[in-house]
């Protein structure tokens, strides 16, 4: 995967391309050299290739939330997933996969009920759990990986 991700510099407004392997790293603006914070929001996955690139190339744990817009428990989990992404910025990444948009990716992991969470590192599946999970529990998964 090349560098489809961007971080906008808070100082000069320049869009900086970030390779998948550096999404969890602090960077520096290519223009003004201002530090750029690690990704602290859930990343909405648009393609299987994007998912594969992030999960294989990054050297930190990756928690993925498989969800759908029509799913009530998924909507309940969303604020917790977002808060978790902020808490683990620089130490892990949080992805969101819409099972309606990417059914083959969900099928690859045997997702039959949502929300469904997987934890990977280096492209390897470490943990999978269906159903709601408290943020503290998700954080423990990440910290123990």
Beta-carbon-side half-sphere exposure of residue 119 (alpha carbons within 13 Å): 17
Whether residue 29 lies in the annotated active site? no
- CB neighbours of 47 closer than 8 A, spacing ≥ 6? 102
Whether residue 71 lies in the annotated active site? yes
The DSSP bridge pattern shows strands 62-67 and 93-98 to be parallel
**Identified catalytic residue from 9, 12, 32, 74:** 74
DSSP states of 96-133: EEETTT-HHHHHHTT--SSSEEEEEETTEEEEEEES--
C-alpha closest to that of 139 among 71, 98, 89, 104: 89
Which residues are identified as catalytic?
71, 74
């Amino acid at each position: 995967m090349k560098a489809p991700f961007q971080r906008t510099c808070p100082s000069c407004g320049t869009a900086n391309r970030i390779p998948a392997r550096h999404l969890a790293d602090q960077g520096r603006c290519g223009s003004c050299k201002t530090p750029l914070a690690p990704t602290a929001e859930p990343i909405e996955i648009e393609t299987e290739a994007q998912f594969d690139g992030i999960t294989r190339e990054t050297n930190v744990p990756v928690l993925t939330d498989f969800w759908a817009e029509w799913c009530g428990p998924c909507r309940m989990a969303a604020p917790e997933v977002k808060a978790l992404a902020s808490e683990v910025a620089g130490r892990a990444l949080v992805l969101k996969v819409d099972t309606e948009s990417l059914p083959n990716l969900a099928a690859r992991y045997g997702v039959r009920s949502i929300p469904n969470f997987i934890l990977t590192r280096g492209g390897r599946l470490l943990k999978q759990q269906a159903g709601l999970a408290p943020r503290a529990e998700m954080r423990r998964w990440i910290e123990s990986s």
